[in-house]
Amino acid sequence: MDAAGLASGSQPPPPAPCGGGGRHRGAQASAPAPTAAQADAGASSTVAGASLVLPLRPSRTDSISPAATSFTDSLVFTAEPELQTPSPDPLEGRDWAKVQLVQIFLDRIDPVFKVLHRPSVSLHLIQGKSYLDYEPGHPTVVALDRAIFYAAACAMDESECVPVFDMGKRAAVAGLRVAIEAALARAGLLSTEDITVLQAFVLYLVATRTYDRTRQVWTLMSLAYRIAQALGLQIDPPPGPMKPFDIEMRRRLRYAIGLLDMQTFNLDSQGKLLDETGRSFTDMTFATLVARAQTVVRQINMTTQDGGAYGGLFQLHRGYVRDFRDAAIILLRHCRPDDDPFHWYVVQVTEWIIAQFHVAVERPLRRLPNYDPPRPDFSLLQVCAEILQRSQNIIGDSNVRFWNWSESVFNPWHALAVALAELCTCPDPVIVESYWDLVERAYAHSADLMERSRSEVSWGPMEKLMKKARAHRNSLLQAHGV
């Protein structure tokens, strides 16, 4: 479906039947290559009664203090068993491989997870120029470079890793993880006032989450949130003079951190990403859509209302979804899904998000006391099935495989849970059977994803739901002799 298809109405489309601020060195946004940083400047603001000082531009000769590599920094990263012994650097003597990894990052990571300025990365790592106005070999730049290499490796498959590293993906990723963790410690992660260090850390987190969702990674995500707060990313626009480039980098980073855990982290503000007009499909179009989606998620899940006027709250939530759909129509009006695989991917994910919103409104993640919304005028089971089918279509399409590393971010576990709950109460064995195979495949895939990423998020409730749904299905089949 193209962008115009999103305008068909406030209800979801018919489903298939069943089947800068801080210490970032910035540049003029209009120039292809950033200019040198201006002199130091400072600004202060008051947040929750405390004075927050934002050092806007430090000297380009700033170095990392001796305390930056203290024992405290070394405690941030708890090594995996295979990382507790020294690992060879997979990129040792392989400068040609670094160029390949940068291109993979620009092709696969950057379009989906927009936290850096693409032209600046290209100038630095492909054309060999200094990164922004940092001196060559600055610890901050080394950390960012290592984060880019590591993220690219995490987005590769086994067959791609062997020619590049002369080793399998697991060994290559382990070696690169050691390198980026050491680089972040040397850059003074815990005490940093430089958003470039935080950008490197966030890239490290999103890459690690593709295969590791243990408690350690969740804890480090909280650290990124706290560092962002300390740098004042929630203040938008920031106080004091700041170039558009710096403001944009702060906003991108804020939304990137929010995407790590949309249910918990909230750095939202009135600030917006630059690409909002939909005059053309740009490299910021998808990022803008995802940023808007984050806001809707929080509006639906966090909005409360006193008293018993839940009908008004229910209509308010539906209005949030309509507003997002209308914004998506504008942003995607120049999208060419039939000609460009990434455009197709963006449309599919956008429609997936809208359908997820409809499910979240009808079955909110955070149930309020006595909140009993009216039955929707569409089949909730059918919409959940459409979400699950669309997810499987995206995963199974070889044309968009390069962006499926982000699968863990867009996992339809909520739709799966609601689909199972609906099946548990469905009295018609024909309807249950028509959706059963799809739901079983989605359940198996999500369970496999949880196992592969070693997730410590409890899968028990979903297992209980599936067990109950299977028992209900079996009883229906026996009762009707099917």
In the prediction, which pLDDT does 427 show? 92
Cβ neighbourhood burial of 375 (10 Å; 0-12, 13-18, 19+): exposed
The predicted structure's pLDDT at residue 46: 31
Q: Are residues 219 and 315 in the same domain?
A: no
Question: 46 with 162, same domain?
Answer: yes
Residue 29 is assigned to a structural domain of this protein: no
CB-CB contact of 410 with 391 (8 Å)? yes
Instruction: Count how many domains the chain has.
Output: 2
pLDDT score for 450: 76
| Domain range enclosing 358 | 3-17+275-480
* pLDDT at residue number 45: 34
User: Which pLDDT does position 252 carry in this prediction?
Assistant: 92
**Residue 5 DSSP label:** G
Residue 166 has what pLDDT? 92
119 and 169 share one domain: yes
CA–CA gap between residue 290 and residue 288 (Å, rounded)? 5
Quote the tokens at residue 108.
């696969």
Residues 109 and 172 in one domain: yes
> For position 457, what pLDDT does the model report?
62
Strand, helix or coil for residue 300 = helix
CA–CA gap between residue 46 and residue 52 (Å, rounded) = 6
Residue type, 45: S
In a domain, 372, yes or no: yes
Cβ 169 vs Cβ 452: under 8 Å: no
Half-sphere exposure of 270 (CA within 13 A, CB side): 2
Write out the two tokens for 352: 């997936």
Mean pLDDT of the chain: 79
For 173, the token pair is: 């990723």
Please tell me whether residues 9 and 128 are part of one structural domain.
no
Q: CA end-to-end span of the chain, whole Å?
A: 37
Look at residue 440 and tell me if it is in a domain: yes
Q: What is the DSSP string of 77-138?
A: ----GGGSS----TTTT-HHHHHHHHHHIIIIITTTS--S-HHHHHHHHTS-PPSTTPPTT-
DSSP string computed for 309-343:
-HHHHHHHHHHHHHHHHHHHHHHTTT--TTT-HHH
Is there a contact between 293 and 327 (Cβ–Cβ < 8 Å)? Answer: no
Same domain as 313, residue 187: no
**311 and 419 in one domain?**
yes
Residues 284 and 407 in one domain: yes
Instruction: Identify the CA nearest to 376 among candidates 462, 333, 318.
Output: 318
Give the residue ranges of the chain where pLDDT is below 50: 1-5, 7-23, 25-71, 79, 81-85, 306-308
Q: How many CB atoms lie within 10 A of CB 36?
A: 10
Same domain, 253 and 354: no
pLDDT of residue 272: 59
Residue 81, pLDDT score: 46
